[in-house]
């Protein structure tokens, strides 16, 4: 039994009707999910994966953030540490509550779908996955991060950051150290909106495929994101400038 992606898209459209269509966060998330699904499909095609794996990547893209809608309804935030882990909650909605069978009747892909969703928003992919599980976890992570860059450059600041103005925020020393030295951000250590912003710049360290790096570079996402923010605190602005320069240098060194 093959994946019926058109049916899955219809189910998705019906599911999101349960949530306020005028809520800016809901709007952002619906459009993000639809784009990620297409990015995942194109990425899988660029890797010359089988038709089955291309369709599976597209389906995982459609499902990866399904937990976001209850997160928005219950907590009105995108910040997991202040609410719920949206990846884990998405797995609950799909597999404990049984919604997955609305999207796809065959259960043979369940483990790959489940592990891809669980790992898409973790700092690192868990160890012990099979080659195919690991591949799909990488595809959805890249597709998700690629579109998050786009969203952050054009999206409504208040909906994304809980406030319109980040100029009084500060980048904490630990997050700055992690970015510069570890090339890795521990999400649980982020304390300010500016810290979360730094975490997004750190996405460049966590892209697996050259196609993803190319998209970030060709669309000037780093520069566009950088230019959206100015910090009043002089030390934070110095850190911010250095973070941008370091991320840009990394991107250009790793994609020619």
- Determine the pLDDT at residue 103: 98
- Determine the pLDDT at residue 255: 76
- Determine the pLDDT at residue 163: 84
Beta-strand ranges (E) seen in 121-247 are none
Mean pLDDT by 10 residues, the chain (256 residues): 91 97 94 98 98 97 98 94 95 98 96 98 95 98 98 90 90 97 91 94 96 96 97 97 97 84
- Determine the pLDDT at residue 152: 95
CA-to-CA distance for 44 and 42, rounded, in angstroms?
A: 5
CA distances from 43 to 48, 102, 118, 142, 249 (A): 9, 25, 20, 9, 24
- Determine the pLDDT at residue 188: 86
Tally of CB atoms within 10 A around 214: 16
CA-to-CA distance for 40 and 3, rounded, in angstroms?
A: 15
Burial label for 179, CB within 10 Å (0-12, 13-18, 19+), is buried
- Determine the pLDDT at residue 256: 63
Do the beta carbons of residue 56 and residue 140 sit within 8 Å? no
- Determine the pLDDT at residue 187: 85
**In angstroms, how far is the first alpha carbon of the chain from the final one?**
41
CA-to-CA distance for 61 and 80, rounded, in angstroms?
A: 19
- Determine the pLDDT at residue 81: 87
Do the beta carbons of residue 149 and residue 221 sit within 8 Å? yes
Q: Residue 11: which of 33, 41, 43 has the closest Cα?
A: 33
Helix (H, G, I), strand (E, B) or coil at 99: coil
Q: Residue 53: which of 142, 143, 147, 133 has the closest Cα?
A: 133
Q: What is the pTM of this model?
A: 0.95
CA-to-CA distance for 161 and 193, rounded, in angstroms?
A: 7
């Amino acid at each position: 039994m093959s994946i019926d992606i058109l049916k899955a898209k219809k189910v998705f459209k019906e599911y999101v009707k349960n949530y306020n269509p005028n809520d800016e966060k809901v709007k952002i998330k619906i459009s993000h999910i639809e784009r990620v699904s297409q990015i995942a499909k194109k990425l899988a095609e660029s890797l010359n994966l089988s038709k089955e794996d291309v369709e599976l990547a597209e389906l995982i893209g459609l499902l990866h953030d399904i937990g976001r809608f209850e997160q928005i309804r219950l907590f009105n935030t995108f910040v997991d540490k202040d609410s719920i882990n949206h990846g884990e909650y998405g797995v609950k909605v799909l597999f404990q509550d049984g919604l997955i069978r609305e999207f796809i009747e065959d259960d043979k892909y369940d483990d790959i779908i489940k592990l891809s969703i669980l790992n898409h928003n973790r700092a690192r992919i868990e160890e012990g996955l099979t080659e195919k599980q690991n591949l799909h976890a990488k595809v959805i992570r890249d597709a998700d991060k690629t579109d998050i860059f786009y969203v952050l450059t054009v999206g409504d600041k208040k909906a994304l950051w809980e406030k319109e103005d980040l100029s009084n925020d500060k980048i904490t020393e630990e997050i700055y150290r992690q970015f510069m030295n570890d090339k890795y951000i521990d999400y649980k250590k982020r304390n300010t909106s500016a810290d979360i912003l730094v975490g997004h710049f750190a996405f460049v360290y966590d892209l697996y495929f050259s196609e993803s790096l190319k998209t970030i570079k060709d669309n000037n996402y780093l520069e566009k994101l950088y230019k959206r923010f100015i910090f009043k605190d002089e030390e934070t602005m110095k850190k911010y400038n250095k973070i941008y320069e370091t991320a840009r240098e990394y991107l250009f060194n790793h994609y020619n």
